Chains A and B, each alone.
Chain A
Amino acid sequence: MSERGGRLVVVGNGMVGQRFVEALRARDRDGRWRVTVLAEERRPAYDRVRLSAVFDGVDADELSLHTPDDGVDLRLGEPATGIDRARRVVTTATGEIRYDALVLATGSAPFVPPVEGTDLPGVFVYRTLDDLTAIREHARGRHTGAVIGGGLLGLEAANALRLLGLATAVVEFAPRLMPVQVDEAGGAMLRRYVAELGVTTYLGVATTALRAGPDGAVAALALADGRTVDAELVVVAAGIRPRDELARAAGLPLGPRGGVLVDATCRSADERIWAVGECAAVDGTCHGLVAPGYATAEVVADRLLGGAATFPGADTATKLKLLGVDVASFGDAHGVTAGSLDVTYTDPATRSYAKLVLSDDARTLLGGVLVGDASAYPALRASVGGPLPAPPLALLAPAGGPGAGAGALPAGAQVCSCNAVTRADLDAAIAGGATDVPALKECTRAGTSCGSCVPMLKQLLDAAGVRQSTALCEHFDLGRQELFDLIRVRGIRTFSRLVAEHGRGNGCDICKPVVASILASLGAGHVLDGEAASLQDTNDHFLANLQRDGSYSVVPRIPGGEITPEKLIAIGEVARDFRLYTKITGGQRIDLFGARVDQLPQIWRRLVDAGFESGHAYGKALRTVKSCVGDTWCRYGVQDAVGLAIALELRYRGLRAPHKLKSAVSGCARECAEARGKDFGVIATETGWNLYVGGNGGFRPRHADLFATDLSTEALITMIDRFLIYYIRTADRLQRTAAWIEAMDGGLDHLRSVLVDDSLGLCADLDAAMARHVAGYSDEWRDVLEDPVRLRRFTSFVNAPDVPDPSITFAVERGQPVPARGAPPGPDRRRQPVALGLPEVRR
């Protein structure tokens, strides 16, 4: 029997193959199996479900599902070429590998109908990252595209072509789009949406030939009804076929429609060979979705370690966003069950269509279709086979209506179908101490794949009586956003009034800086005036950055990183005269270290006289807007990146926010300014500016998302204005823009609806708030220099202002001063200078 362990060979490293290996390795604590994975592609497993995200600017690396594992011999670019069952070996181009157990995870191949011309240049399938790269390359300089196939994948490909700037057509043989998932009425609603996006649909018609143009590449499709469709790029998305050629050649029985025939334990006719994912015909049926694929992976991992798992049946429910439209179908969507009843709901106003399929006594939910508004999907899908969680109309009314929450689900209902997590599993996790969504994700894996069940996780926490405290600290029961609104609406200008009327105690190092920041955002005067002075955190306290020895660093603003030689010399002279350690920062500025408190005003005086101002390196505020040189000098630049970066930095300078704000402008898609690592980044296109939001470096690096394309400079600035003020008003304390967008209900789409479509009616107010900021800006350093009361705080000792702080002393390293005191964080570590090429000094 193969369950004892030994050599395990896995053929295929797609999503399911990878999930299988992970599941096995996680449970194989004694190391029973030595695993070899044969991968056809040169890149390790990635998330094919999110393939199209690369056209939204997501980096291919972000799709990776690969986790390095020393116990797995992963051979990339080495596909299996044959199986010798008698000798128990798999052959590859480089040799043979013996197996005690063999798992086939070869997936599917796109089905290309036998139509003349599908071999022309410019005709693609849509399955791998390489396919997408080739499509992107071919689309350059071309204007028309077509997709053969109007199913899930076809519509996804159509959207990709649209994003590449092609006039796009979809040809579907069935009389409606997404024929497998939605019914006729749902398809009609879908077609209306698709038409609005400028995608033309040809339904109920076959493609008879692909015709070449003068350059030999594809130029048009010929349809059975005699019409022609111009298409200089064609994607064939007409379905998939299981890749069963290895099994076929090895004489293994196949399913009636192909696929490796396996039983409910996913074992083939050969007791040592198993199949998982799309290449497996489980009891004769192939499932072309990732959720049942994952289920087969779990079954085989369990069986190979002596377990008794069986395939639980496929959940074919899908919910996706196609061309910006939510579409979901679940259970018996087409009502094929005998005697089933339909309840349908069409709302032209919200342009949503929904259908529920009920059993003949109208008591049991069998399935359904949702188009336009799929917010009820998680609860409905989890209720399939059970009683309705609420009256049908309440479920179908927009926004799911009341009572559609997860709280009404039975214990056995599957809340997360991607990872097969039931309500009972989640309730157990909550009882075991999980008090928030991240904790639930951590211990059950629910919500970690497609994320559509995350709202239900929140509802289950609520249903269990777990309240997420938004209280800022012990002094205020409100969160930052509520405090902001309270201070704004009631016109509160001081911390003491706020804490007296709406809080308790004397405040602390959490709430004081938050309130200081809110007051500054609302234009309550200089941050060191009156009571505000006692609220400022470490750096804002002296408008400089505290270093570990108690000295400060000073960063003058250099907008966009552009600086004249005279100004550069002035900085050098200041650094030389005050003997400051000098370093170029990552944000295209110059950082001057080692200033004592009493020296700060003198340094600022010199800098202000030379035409500089505060760079706000000390504040939770806009830092810098980096730039490349743009079309001023660069051979590739298509817009004036430097000019825009300077304009943006000067517009938003001094803007205080829940956390620091970083930005950049790149003059072309080569992205030399790294704009996609910023809270808001701008990349020039031939026709305008693309705006990206929500990126950050730091603790959890994250690429920014594309928010809007080809904006004029004026429209771009309006968008950024609104984005920043909305962030300042609604984000949590110390929440960077990336986390703010991730935590938002509806995410980026919600943000677009608020900032572009003005769905909350806030835009005029946001615009006015930014106008007030721009009009009210003044340099914080100059304001201190001009006010004796503010100035007198910058002394070493209240009773000995002429005595410099004797504790600040310097050593010399590489010709510059460095601190001689101040403990590094953590356990007592002696600082070791780095001296490469020398023997290590042992102490």
Chain B
Amino acid sequence: MSRATTPAWTPVCPLDRLDEDRGVAALVDGVQVALFRTADGLFAVDNLDPVGDAYVMSRGLVGSRGEVRTLASPLHKQVYDLTTGRCLDVAGVTLRRHRVRCRDGLVEVRLRQEE
């Protein structure tokens, strides 16, 4: 799908509904998004594991590799850079990232357009 207009910010949940370093899944405009709250702020990526082809990324473990904030797939443990979406273990694999912010205690997501 592709859209002519920029997608809007969609409120998802209160910030205190998110536990630090433990993800949740959200449904935004029919797209499954994995949301994470970390000490470095909020992150939103596709919930679809591009390698395992199942909607599970919200259940992965958050951590770090060197200076990079990471997320590991719960299926086969490939590790992704949460900031860029790039897979650090499999060349050429990327996790789509989405915009996320916190407004008045509410977490909002804006889908990233298909490239």
Contact = CB atoms under 8 A, between A and B. Distances in A.
Contact of A508 (B12, B55, B72): B72
A508 B75 contact: no
B12 A799 contact: yes
Given A534-B19, A807-B54, A822-B53, A797 B63 contact: no
Given A509-B61, A534-B20, A807 B55 contact: yes
Contacts of A537: 61, 74
B111 interface: no
B54 A549 contact: yes
A474 B65 contact: yes
Contacts of A546: 56, 59, 74-75
A468 interface: no
A538 B62 CA distance: 12
A807 B65 CA distance: 31
A537 B77 CA distance: 10
A798 B26 contact: yes
A764 B82 CA distance: 47
Contacts of B77: 509
A800 B35 CA distance: 14
Contact of B65 (A508, A550, A798, A800): A508
A297 B13 CA distance: 76
A512 B63 contact: yes
Interface in B22-50: 22, 24-28, 32, 35, 38-39, 48
Contact of B63 (A506, A538, A807, A825): A506
B27 A803 contact: yes
Given A512-B61, A798-B25, A541 B54 contact: no
Contacts, number: 105
A542 B24 CA distance: 12
B22 A505 contact: no
Given A506-B69, A508-B65, A512-B61, A534 B17 contact: no
A255 interface: no
B8 to A, nearest CB: 14
Interface in A304-356: none
A807 B31 CA distance: 11
A475 B52 CA distance: 27
B69 to A, nearest CB: 7
Given A538-B59, A798-B35, A509 B52 contact: no
A541 B59 contact: yes
A82 interface: no
Contact of A825 (B32, B74, B76): B76
Interface in A797-817: 797-800, 803, 805, 807
A821 interface: yes
A550 B61 contact: no
A379 B76 CA distance: 46
A546 B26 CA distance: 19
Contacts of A821: 53-54
A800 B62 contact: no
* A contact residues, range: 35 or more
Interface string B57-87: 0011111111001101011110100000000
Contacts of A387: none
Interface string A759-803: 000000000000000000000000000000000010111111001
A533 interface: yes
A507 interface: yes
Contacts of B60: 509
A798 B74 contact: no
Contact of B75 (A474, A535, A538): A538
A820 to B, nearest CB: 11
Nearest to B64: A506
Given A509-B72, A534-B20, A798 B66 contact: no
B70 A508 contact: yes
B63 A508 contact: yes
Contacts of A533: 19, 22
B52 A823 contact: yes
A811 to B, nearest CB: 15
A691 B34 CA distance: 48
B59 A799 contact: no
A800 B76 CA distance: 27
A800 to B, nearest CB: 5
Contacts of A799: 11-13, 26-28
Of A534, A795, A803, most buried by chain B (CB within 10 Å of CB) is A534
A803 B28 CA distance: 12
Contacts of A550: 54-56
Contacts of B66: 474, 505
B53 A823 contact: yes
Interface string A494-508: 000000000001111
A788 to B, nearest CB: 13
Nearest to B22: A534
A505 B38 CA distance: 13
B53 A534 contact: no
Nearest to B67: A505
B75 A509 contact: no
Contacts of A798: 12-13, 17-18, 24-26, 35
Given A512-B63, A537-B61, A538-B59, A548 B52 contact: yes
A546 B77 CA distance: 13
Given A509-B63, A533-B19, A822-B54, A797 B72 contact: no
B93 interface: no
Question: Which residue, of B12, B21, B63, B77, has the highest number of chain A Cβ atoms within 10 A?
Answer: B63
Nearest to B74: A538
A508 B64 contact: yes
B55 A805 contact: yes
Contacts of B11: 799
A520 B24 CA distance: 23
Nearest to A507: B63
A577 to B, nearest CB: 24
A739 B52 CA distance: 30
B40 to A, nearest CB: 9
B74 A541 contact: yes
Contacts of A803: 27
B51 interface: yes
A427 to B, nearest CB: 35
A534 B27 contact: no
A384 to B, nearest CB: 51
Nearest to B18: A798
Contacts of A475: 63-64
A508 B65 CA distance: 7
A817 to B, nearest CB: 16
Nearest to A495: B21
B4 to A, nearest CB: 25
Interface in A534-557: 534-535, 537-538, 541-542, 546, 548-550
Contact of A542 (B51, B59, B61): B59
A795 B11 CA distance: 18
Interface string A381-399: 0000000000000000000
A549 B19 CA distance: 25
B53 A506 contact: no
A659 B72 CA distance: 20
A799 B18 CA distance: 12
9 nearest A-B pairs in the assembled complex, by CB-CB distance: A508-B63, A534-B21, A550-B54, A506-B64, A509-B72, A538-B74, A823-B53, A534-B22, A798-B24
20 contacts: A505-B63, A505-B66, A506-B62, A506-B63, A508-B65, A509-B77, A512-B63, A533-B19, A541-B74, A542-B59, A548-B75, A549-B54, A550-B55, A796-B25, A796-B27, A797-B24, A797-B27, A797-B32, A798-B17, A800-B27
Interface of B: 11-13, 17-22, 24-28, 32, 35, 38-39, 48, 51-56, 59-66, 69-70, 72, 74-77, 79
Given A506-B21, A807-B32, 19 more contacts: A475-B63, A505-B64, A505-B66, A508-B63, A509-B61, A534-B22, A538-B74, A546-B59, A548-B54, A549-B54, A550-B56, A797-B32, A799-B11, A799-B26, A803-B27, A807-B54, A821-B54, A822-B53, A823-B53
